Amino acid sequence: MSISDTLAGRHAVVSGAAGGIGAAIVRRLIAEGAEVIGIDRNAAGLRALQDHLGTRFHPWPVDLADRAALAEPLAWPCDILVNNAGILRLATLEDCDDELLDDIMAVNFLAAVRLTRGLLPALRASRGVVITIASELALIGQAGYSAYSASKGALIAWSRALAIELAPAGIRVNCVCPGPIDTAMLQDEFANLGDQAAARAAEIKTIPLGRLGRPEDIAATVGFLASDAAAFVTGAAWTVDGGKTQC
């Protein structure tokens, strides 16, 4: 079976689809034969992706922090759901006010719960797959990331429980935990540290494989977990970080 037909005939929904890891996942799933609905509040980014990918990509511009947008079950076919949407707000505990906490939990955790709940009838019908993008920072600590780490850790715990709950329905649920991935979000983090080049070099020194990850590294893992090759994999948190969390 070639990469072009691994997911032929399947319908996927990917949140946070407009750029970075999300766009790479969309491209991978389409390359493997799936039809993809991409969700993001960045409407322009979705349109650009559609211009590139054509008719098998369907944009849905929506802010996943808006509870009303996901209040009702979603009448879409869905074999594969990828909960990828996420935001990062760096703050010490003293500066981590309720607004920051609410924003992070709304997008990083609660949006995944609500989107999965909304698509549950379709996932039951297809005996589908749920893949949620967590983070290495759900597994290791780093100063200034406590709220972000909590939101990503919640995704892992939720996914493990959901994997047991939905196993009788034939639905598989897994997480992917990326390490430092070379995206605009990571570059913004480096810029906030002052010397962007030095921050980048320092980060690479923490990675045994000696490089930053690429969005395509995460997309390849998602493609595997979405496929029949991973038919016996559920309740897992796959770390894709070049060995960083092993140090």
By annotation, the residues acting in catalysis are 148
- State residue 196 phi and psi, 5-degree precision: -60, -45
Instruction: Tell me how far apart the alpha carbons of residues 34 and 198 are, in angstroms, rounded to a whole number.
Output: 40
Closest by CA to 118, choosing from 74, 163, 166, is 74
The percent helix, strand, coil of the chain (3-state, each to 5) is 50, 15, 35
Give the ranges where 129-233 is alpha helix by DSSP (H): 146-166, 184-192, 196-205, 215-226
Q: Are 2 and 27 in contact (CB under 8 A)?
A: no
Q: What's the CA gap between 60 and 185, in Å, rounded?
A: 22
Q: What secondary structure letter does DSSP report for 67?
A: G
Q: Is the dihedral of CA 119, 123, 126, 130 positive or negative?
A: positive
Radius of gyration of the chain (CA): 17
